[in-house]
């Protein structure tokens, strides 16, 4: 998949998040009821919905630029790769937050962003190529500050950041390290 087509898909997801945020704001942030609430049955659907919901426009904007960049770097390898990586990050990362997260509502795309970041860094380890190595170095330099997101802070789901990054590593391990895996072929 070429970079422009991939970016359009990622931009479409970002526009969807912006539209949801507008709807959320207009309805007095009623959509936050669909966030992930750990260890509750009503919080389980939040595993899938929480990455698309944000507490404010500034919260959303903090996630959009890294999502656009990192998502595009993953989708260049193909739409199926992006879907598989995102499904692992959102599913596994969300499940880990549901199991171990602080009690309260967890929302935002930052877990997804941390997962994409970890996947790109891990990809260089599992698929040895100059392109992957250069991409990982650039991503590490541009987004190395994300490691501070692993530190507990009031009002920030650092558990979501940790779980997303762990799930991104697992996505790379599962999708890239197994010989003969259909996702292991260069695209």
Question: What mean pLDDT is predicted for residues 100-116?
Answer: 95
**The total number of structural domains that make up the chain:** 1
| In-domain check, residue 170 | yes
Phi, psi dihedral angles at 16 (to 5 degrees): -60, -45
Distance of alpha carbon 95 from its chain centroid, rounded?
14
- Judge whether 136 and 121 are in contact, CB under 8 Å: yes
76: CATH: 1.20.1540.10
CA distance 25 to 39: 27
Whether the pLDDT of residue 184 is over 50: the answer is no
User: Residue 63 sits in which domain range?
Assistant: 3-176
| In-domain check, residue 93 | yes
129: three-class secondary structure by DSSP: coil
- Judge whether 125 and 74 are in contact, CB under 8 Å: no
**What tens digit of pLDDT does each residue of 10-42 get?**
999 999 999 999 999 999 999 999 999 999 999
- Judge whether 106 and 50 are in contact, CB under 8 Å: yes
Look up the pTM and report it: 0.90
pLDDT value, residue 150: 64
**What tens digit of pLDDT does each residue of 70-81 get?**
999 999 999 999
């Amino acid at each position: 998949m070429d970079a422009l087509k991939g970016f359009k898909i990622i931009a479409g997801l970002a526009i969807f998040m912006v539209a949801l945020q507008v709807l959320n704001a207009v309805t007095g942030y009623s959509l936050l009821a669909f966030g992930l609430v750990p260890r509750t049955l009503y919080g389980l659907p939040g595993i899938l919905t929480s990455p698309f919901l944000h507490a404010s426009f500034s919260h959303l904007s903090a996630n959009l630029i890294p999502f656009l960049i990192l998502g595009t770097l993953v989708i260049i390898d193909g739409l199926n790769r992006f879907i598989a990586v995102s499904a692992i990050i959102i599913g596994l990362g969300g499940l880990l937050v549901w199991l171990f997260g602080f009690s309260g509502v967890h929302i935002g795309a930052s877990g997804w962003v941390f997962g994409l970041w970890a996947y790109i860094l891990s990809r260089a380890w599992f698929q040895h190529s100059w392109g992957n190595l250069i991409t990982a170095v650039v991503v590490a330099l541009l987004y190395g500050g994300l490691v501070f997101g692993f530190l507990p802070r009031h009002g920030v789901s650092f558990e979501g950041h940790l779980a997303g990054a762990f799930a991104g590593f697992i996505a790379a391990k599962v999708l890239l390290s197994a010989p003969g895996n259909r996702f292991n072929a260069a695209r």
